[in-house]
Amino acid sequence: MREAKKLEDIIKELPEDLIKEVEDFALFLLEKRKREETEKKKPTLSWAGGLSEFKDKYTSVELQHKALE
């Protein structure tokens, strides 16, 4: 909590335009953390079997090449 008070005191000394920059940066950090936490979650594999309609039409290698196009 002491660091929060120190940060608050520093922010109070900043001009209004820099306070806005600090706010924007803090929001960026929050969004970044949310993204990182989302990326850490295990995949749901809800797409499994989604390409089954193509199994008679393409080989797995051909599908990989198409995905890279």
- State which residues form the domain around 43: 2-68
Tokens matching residue 50: 């989604």
* Cβ within 8 Å of residue 54, ≥6 positions away: 63
Quote the number of domains for the chain.
1
Tens digit of pLDDT per residue, the chain (69 long)?
Answer: 688 889 999 999 999 999 999 999 999 999 999 988 887 777 777 888 887 887 788 888 888 888 888
Cα separation of 51 and 2, whole Å?
A: 55
Tell me if the pTM is above 0.95: no
- In contact, 11 and 19? CB cutoff 8 Å: yes
Q: What's the pLDDT score for residue 1?
A: 67
- pLDDT value of position 37: 85
Q: Both tokens of residue 35?
A: 């993204």
How far apart are alpha carbons 44 and 18 in whole angstroms?
42
How high is the pLDDT of residue 45?
Answer: 77
